[in-house]
Amino acid sequence: MDQPASDPQAFRIEHDSLGEVRVPADALWGAQTQRSHENFRIGTETMPRGIVRAFALVKKAAAQANADLGVLDPTVASLIEDAADEVLAGQHDEAFPLVVWQTGSGTQSNMNMNEVLAHIANALATERGIQLDRPVHPNDHVNCSQSSNDTFPTALHVAAALALTHELTPAARQLAATFQRLEEENRDIVKSGRTHLQDAVPIAFSQEISGWRGLVESPLAQMDAALPDIYQLALGGTAVGTGLNAPEGFDTLVAQKLAGLTGLPFVTDPNKFHALTSKDAIVFAHGAVKALAANMMKVANDVRWLASGPRLGLGEITIPANEPGSSIMPGKVNPTQCEAVTMVAVQVMGNDAAIGFAASQGNFELNVFMPVIAYNFLQSCRLLADALVSFDVHCASGIKANRQKMHDNLHRSLMNVTALNPTIGYENAAKVSQKAFREGSSLREACVALGFLTAEEFDKVFKPEEMV
């Protein structure tokens, strides 16, 4: 949004405690945002929309609480609330250009929101003919009873809670429901199990799918277990956790306001010194996100292995053919949705390492790695949620069992010899399996040839479909 410096009409003059700053004439932000915009030209990663939305919610709740406690004029508070509503509606996304790689406390992003809301609030006052004693001020009014040091960790927790409950959890539950449907549809199919990429004893296809469902549902329970700590907010601790310049009861009231605005049970953190310095709640919650990513790596790999072929692989299932798989091999179709899921899983695991390391780096009364923590956490939730929905719609929902291939593989598996253990013993059963493998014969032929059972006796005890 920078304008040529040679055009004097392209700028207006704003000021902060360091002096005057030229700001693009049509920008909604002020001096501190502009300084950050100019001083941190690092990368292309801007502050996530989830953090912007969370900050707007924090400022709206703070304005309400400050008005209720008598430290902010109700008219000013109402203007700030209306300004926040415009931001929440997505009307001013271009007004938040700051990059992730800025101050580790996120001070400039807090001031970006303060300046934008003050600018909008003053414009609304003019439009409505409201006479104010003084213009709405970014620090004195929008940031009243707050500090960057307690608003950013609060916005981080609000954004994380919204991402987990409104994005990732619904996507995971949708995929789990698809697996539940596939279980019901495939209950009558028995196939060969596999361990160590080797043939194993039989398993019902529905049982295999139930494992996939569990791999989705278990991390969901872990996310639920992590949420109570995410719901605890730092707001009210101000600069170092003491609550300096915040009125008594502000922390409890503003948490109640945020709960009302979001429908989530936010509460004030009883220990603000912990809330400002520790990011353990985020580390714990992202651990559950990583668990889901790790499990989805396994599910996606299972699906693409089982669908491998179509003639020279396992070929026990078919998956939807969504697009041509090769620019040179006609008719080739690849498991692209599985590949997308596994790449997202890798990214989430990398994000987890970054979050854990960043969380360990706080000094004294503040963690100063919060923007990168926020960026990685929200990216993980967004990518994984999108990948789960895409995988569900374009792959999992269309999984079909290749019944004939499953039947053939089941009856060719040498590990079905396990059924003979109770009758002829482990060592004799091993001899049967080894002889069948060496000679390319059936287990029945090998067992009879070794004299362990007659053909009739073998048929009585060897029933692969009943081994599940």
DSSP codes joined into one string, 179-234: HHHHHHHTTT-EEEEEETTEEEEEEEHHHHHHHHHHHHHHHHHHHHHHHHHHTEE-
User: Which of 424, 395, 367, 426 lies closest to 301 in space, CA to CA?
Assistant: 395
**Contact indicator for 448, 173 with CB cutoff of 8 Å:** no
DSSP codes joined into one string, 19-85: EEEEEETT-S--HHHHHHHHH----S-BPPHHHHHHHHHHHHHHHHHHHHTTSS-HHHHHHHHHHHH
Check 15, 218, 326, 360 and give the catalytic one: 326
Sign for the pseudo-dihedral over CA of 381, 383, 386, 392: negative
196 is catalytic: yes
Q: Is 286 helix (H, G, I), strand (E, B) or coil?
A: helix
For residues 222 and 224, give the distance between their C-alpha atoms in angstroms, rounded to a whole number: 5
Check 137, 166, 192, 196 and give the catalytic one: 196
For residues 36 and 26, give the distance between their C-alpha atoms in angstroms, rounded to a whole number: 17
Contacts of 441 (CB under 8 A, 6+ apart): 435, 449
137 is catalytic: no
* DSSP 8-class letter at 99: B
Residue 401: strand pairing partners? 317
Pairing of strands 267-268, 232-233: parallel
Instruction: Point out the residues that are catalytic.
Output: 196, 326
